[in-house]
Amino acid sequence: MPVIKVEMFEGRTIEQKRELVEVLSKETARITGCSVESIYVVIDEVKKENWGAGGELCSDKYPDK
């Protein structure tokens, strides 16, 4: 039972998340030889203000336009 954990900034649409889960599941099943039904995908959305990169908050480094 593969579990795929995706951590990313919040803000994607439900359609984008649906496609991400579908593609990750299908490709993992293809590569590992297990069934798509046995794969779990967990999407953990994080606010940019709660993520740091290169010594600064991502909300400062990558401000929304």
What is the C-alpha to C-alpha distance for residues 54 and 3, in angstroms, rounded to an integer? Answer: 28
Catalytic member of 2, 20, 43, 59: 2
Let me know: does 38 contact 4? Beta carbons within 8 Å.
Answer: no
**2 is known as an active-site residue:** yes
Q: What is the identity of the amino acid at 44?
A: D
Catalytic residues: 2
